[in-house]
Structure 1
């Protein structure tokens, strides 16, 4: 996994030649000229899915040149920094997506106005099948303007009850300067960054701009995007695919078809970003996010509890149906294209989503007996009674690598997991962030494709964890180092900078060291990590906090001793028990060229065969309005898997069969479960409110793509599924449906 730290010039050139040869193979895959099955037939990959280490193809192949120590975990030559030093650029706050709002809380649902923004048709309950010309590179002819599968099966569920009241329009396109950066805070609270100055698509002002084929982001620009919403204010997000029609125009990796997953969203499968519901360049997809509390149709039906509420513009509360204990706060959204998720997310297809409620309203000075008053900002200063970002900061952590020209690069043939050698925060290289002497909330997302993080402060001072996976914990937990953070996990923490003086500096430090993409190799002490002696270049300091001033007004934010309790599931009968084992050596029992996939990783369901991904296979089908217990098992000790289950959160009952092994920060609601090497996690879940086909997979997205993913589904009509849903097969000329390729015997328990 590592190239020598004292690599010689000839050896470096040999590695660069191998990278270019691998790039040619990747481009052949992108053009559809070859498949991974072809690589197996030619002897270029093993039956386990590993690229054979051939000289001229692998930078790790035997060489006549000397090898020495190691420190570059990418499978690529070292990323050149062009003389750039760490902590010499400010960290940009996220770019807040514009919201086009309509009447909210009036009790009257007006007809949806003409869709604003770029020209296009109004959103509809069923997919819009109006015809348009298809690019010649995609086969020509005519195809639908919307890539959502057509007809009632993929119509927006609960459309009349949650008619869109806010519209957000985004594009997916190649990198370009951001001429309309909107951080949602003043430059003083954004480390002096002037939003009126064009923000270039580069990882540092002294690094090259990323080209439009290297970096694919929301709206084609940096910083990463932030979607803001509040409960029961339904959002219609129209996502336009403006990527190149030619699949080979991808800078060496990534696929131009996309499917946007709103991670942990509680809504119908048509809006979930199902891995097989992808859409093509020239099309859009309307995603409908109702943003309702879990149990909306079964708990607190009269909407009498103000804790189950949404913040009004006037500072009050709109009381809603559902369970306040299901309140969510920090989500993210990213691509979920089948077998290309890791590449597309790595290229920039990732943003964050803050959800506000009567409990977590983002206005720390509103003291109404319900608002938890977490660090955010004052409504009395901003005039905003919810969603203040002054002291509420999103952090997206990701490791990256780039080639000799400074363009983003990835080795798509490392099926164990890809690791970069450069650490980024909010998609810039090791920045600094100016803070005041007061409490801040940080919403930390692990947006890497294979790397785990373990975060501490360089001086070992305490942090208070208040949330895990976007859900506020029952009680806050004080820690001097956070737990290892798996890919896609979100940790919300509070840091109190009042203990420092103006002029002081303190750093966020990563303690987790990797030798390969299968799992972390070890966690270092703070002293070891700060010393900079780890062979892993992403260990150590990665974000510098500069304490610059006292706050202009006293800090009135709080971290209450009680946050949000868990729903009580102890009295709910268990309808079924299921076991999913995640491991290597997967077989493929189907041969559909679109929905099935070859790869070394797989999932074994209820003691059956270890199977590679096929999104046409139904592996589980829980009944609507039931509760089940699922046990997730790591099939080996040589790797770790952060497992994500779509649509419904779970409560961790036990680790390795023992309730006492569940740490305090995992005792809230979760949607990603780190199994740990050789370990297991037992969870309890409910299935309510919506239906359709969903996914379960490893969120080491390289493992997911190769091919540790399964499909499960729930019949949203309120009765047990007697027949599985048909599988969508997208093409530029339209989506067709076929019967599932396989239904496991234990799916319908």
Structure 2
């Protein structure tokens, strides 16, 4: 069932009068002082808490007929997070943690991850159903292990996912993808990073202490410290508290050297435009699908939900004791509040480090010129698909080319948006004429190259392999992709999660005819089992 704003207030123990705090008009660049109903004394303070690094999960080692693999057992359970001073916020966490621990793996090392749904039947705060589906975003997984939205693991069930990790190094993330309630589940904490390493990336970019994962999210809070959820008739949710790795506006101590930051936007709707003040030299070195052909110097970048950008920030020329703020310039059609223009801060310290490490003082120019995706060229001979991201003003639902996930389900999961053969290359033109919304469009299975925006060159920071593309207001974005390495059905959807849930999600099939027996059926090939 859908949860109304009134139901959220009841569940949060709030008076109906509190609703006035959310009654803001829609429009580009909308601002207000706050959305949370916290008393001033409880509102998290900007730059008051230390930055916390993501923990790393330790696997056990297993062996099967294909050789060794890393094995993880993770439980999705309710937890408590100390985000608001003096209060506990009920959350959903992998192993009860928000933020959850990340996974690190070397290229070629397989992983088997068993996800246990130990959640109650209904969300403790919002009352929504608690079926889950775990998607490793950025992985070329088989369909039955891809977190297909309708492949739902119910409370009391478990599912073992298999990840091949044959792709080049990249920042991935695993998050919930349960049909119709992805937004509530991810907002409540079911998300974390997953780092795939390879020798090329390890030789070029900072590692260990100087390879820093930063997961960005935003929340709004009820007076008792619980989360508030208002997606404004499925338009999106924009919180007034910005979190980096689960901490509001944290401060990180940095040494006088080059750092690598893996920025993931895990906000369910908000986009960011990060910049530094005072300006620090910044270089984009990797996008969703890994290393760019060449590094690109940037002063800011537009960062939509689910996109990952890896940035080198050079602190060498700052003095010890100096503070550099990571600010948010925002983008049209976000909802901004008093402090959403700030993200986190860096305080420079004069602590020692290994100056013989070449990555401490080097900004590599050439990174991965041989990337197959980035070497795709539109010859004019490839099939062109036109994809329209739209809103139906009658049903108040979102769709792709006039069709929604409801249509896919009603067809018995046969209806597809595209049906390329295995190994085909296609060009997709994604058009946004939906009015006052931007759409981060995610295509599962493959990486793609952005060819153009409204006929012009892509932004320099997105000149790398992508799996999410920010399609701004009035934009037509052209992308090129090669389909493989697996046959089967995969999803394409908007990653503004209230849009995805209502109901801006479709599927495409690779190498399948309608009459074919699908050995990798995403729902039935390897279904969940009882715990």
So what's the TM-score if we normalise by structure 2?
0.87
Tell me how far 1:208 sits from its aligned partner.
1.3
Equivalent of residue 620 in structure 1, options 393, 400, 418: 418
Question: Match for 1:239 among 106, 115, 121?
Answer: 115
1:599/1:289 CA distance change after superposition, 3 Å: farther
Asked whether the 8 Å contact 2:238–2:334 carries over to 1, the reply is: no
Identify the residue that residue 561 of structure 1 maps to in structure 2. 365
| 1:586–1:611 contact (8 Å) kept in structure 2 | no
SS at match of 2:349: strand
Q: 1:474 to 1:733 in 2, by over 3 A?
A: closer
Query: Per the alignment, in what secondary structure is the counterpart of residue 96 of structure 1?
Result: coil
Change (3 A) 1:23 1:728: farther
CA pair 78-706 structure 1, distance change in 2 beyond 3 A: farther
Work out the CA distance in 1 between the residues paired with 2:464 and 2:273.
Answer: 19
SS for the counterpart of 1:239 is: strand
| Alignment coverage as a number of residue pairs | 506
Q: CA deviation at 1:447?
A: 0.6
Partner of residue 256, structure 1: 130
**Are the structure 2 counterparts of residues 97 and 708 from structure 1 closer, same or farther at C-alpha, using a change threshold of 3 Å?**
same
Match of residue 498 from structure 1: 316
1:241-276 deviations in whole A, cap 9, x for unaligned?
A: 1111x32x5212553110011001112111110001
Task: Tell me the CA shift for residue 22 of structure 1.
Answer: 4.5
CA 1:513/1:538 → structure 2, altered by over 3 Å: closer, same or farther? farther
The C-alpha deviation readout for 1:143-187, integer Å capped at 9, x for no partner, is xxxxxxxxxxxxxxxxx6x555111221110115xxxxxxxxxxx
Whether the 8 Å CA contact 1:79–1:402 is kept in 2: the answer is: no
Aligned partners of 2:285 and 2:296 also within 8 Å: yes
Correspondence list, 1:171-320, <5 A: 171-176=75-80, 201-203=81-83, 206-210=85-89, 214-244=90-120, 246-247=121-122, 249-293=123-167
Aligned match for 1:652, one of 450, 467, 474: 450
Matched, 1:345 2:181: no
Question: 1:684-731 CA deviation, whole Å, 9 max, x = no partner?
Answer: 11112212221101111111111111011223xxx655448577489x
Q: 1 CA distance for matches of 2:161 and 2:22?
A: 46
User: For the residues of structure 2 that align with 1:436 and 1:679, how far apart are their CA atoms?
Assistant: 41
Q: Are the structure 2 counterparts of residues 499 and 238 from structure 1 closer, same or farther at C-alpha, using a change threshold of 3 Å?
A: same
Q: How far 1:569 sits from its partner (Å)?
A: 2.4
Residue 479 of structure 2 corresponds to which residue in structure 1?
683
In structure 2, what is the Cα distance between the partners aligned to 1:621 and 1:339?
A: 24
Q: Secondary structure at the match of 1:620?
A: coil
Match of 1:666 in 2: 462
Deviation at 1:62, TM superposition (A): 9.1
| 1:538 CA drift (Å) | 4.1
TM-fit CA distance, 1:540: 2.6
Q: Indicate yes or no: 2:480 matched with 1:600.
A: no
Deviation at 1:19, TM superposition (A): 5.2
Structure 2 gap ranges (5+): 25-29
Structure 1 residue 574: Cα displacement: 5.0
Of the three residues 383, 391, 395, the one matched with 1:584 is: 391
Residue 438 (structure 2) aligned to one of 630, 637, 640: 640
- Residue 417 of structure 2 aligns to a residue whose secondary structure is strand
Which stretch of structure 1 is more off in the superposition, 84-93 or 692-701?
84-93
> 1:60 and 1:84 mapped to 2: Cα distance?
18
Deviation at 1:423, TM superposition (A): 1.0
Does the CA contact (< 8 Å) of 1:643 and 1:698 recur in 2?
yes
Q: Is the 2:263–2:309 contact (alpha carbons within 8 Å) kept by the matching residues of 1?
A: yes
3-state DSSP of counterpart to 2:199: coil
Contact 1:510/1:538 (8 A) holds in 2: no
Matches within 5 A, 1:507-546: 507-512=325-330, 519-520=333-334, 536-546=337-347
Pairwise CA distance, 1:23: 4.4
How far did 1:289 drift? Answer: 0.5
1:165 aligns with 2:45: no
Which has the higher relative contact order, 1 or 2, with Cα contacts under 8 A spaced 6 or more apart?
2
Deviation per CA, 1:205-264: give whole Å up to 9, x if none. Answer: x33122xxx3001110244321101111001111111111x32x5212553110011001
Q: What is the deviation of 1:671?
A: 0.6
User: Which of these residues, 268, 273, 277, is aligned with residue 454 of structure 1?
Assistant: 273
| TM-superposition CA deviations, 1:639-684 (whole Å, max 9, x none) | 111100000011112211x2x4312222211111111101111111
**Residues 83 and 409 of structure 1: CA distance in aligned 2, closer, same or farther (over 3 Å):** closer
Q: 1:83/1:203 Cα in 2 relative to 1: closer, same or farther (>3 Å)?
A: closer
Distance in 2 between residues matched to 1:61 and 1:286, nearest whole Å: 41
Query: 1:321-340 residue pairs with structure 2 within 5 A?
Result: 327-340=168-181
Cα deviation, 1:612-642, whole Å, max 9, x if unaligned, reads 6444332322111211111111123421111
1:90, distance to aligned residue in structure 2 (A): 1.1
SS of structure 2 residue aligned to 1:360? helix
Provide the secondary structure at the position in 2 that maps to 1:333: strand
Q: Secondary structure at the match of 1:345?
A: helix
In structure 2, relative to structure 1, the CA distance for the partners of 1:287 and 1:94 (3 Å cut) is same
- Contact in 2 for aligned 1:623/1:720 (Cα 8 Å): no
Superposed, 1:343-492 pairs within 5 Å as: 343-361=184-202, 371-372=203-204, 374-376=205-207, 389-412=208-231, 414-481=233-300, 483-492=301-310
For the 8 Å contact 1:330–1:490, the answer to whether it is kept is yes
Greater shift in the superposed pair: 633-642 or 490-499: 633-642
CA distance in structure 2 between the aligned counterparts of 1:462 and 1:637, rounded to whole angstroms: 35
How well do the aligned residues superpose, as a CA RMSD in angstroms? Answer: 3.0
Q: Of the two, which has the highest radius of gyration?
A: 1
Unmatched 5+ residue regions in structure 1?
1-17, 28-54, 64-68, 103-110, 113-159, 177-200, 294-326, 362-370, 377-388, 522-534, 588-597, 736-749
SS of 1:503 mapped into structure 2 = coil
Cα contact 1:95–1:222 (8 A) shared by 2: no
Shift of 1:395: 0.3
Q: 1 CA distance for matches of 2:528 and 2:163? A: 27
Q: TM-score, normalised by structure 1?
A: 0.63
Q: CA deviation at 1:392?
A: 0.5
**Greater shift after overlay, 541-550 or 419-428?**
541-550
Distance across 2 between alignment mates of 1:504 and 1:733: 52
Conservation of the 8 A alpha-carbon contact between 2:106 and 2:198: yes
More strand by share: 2
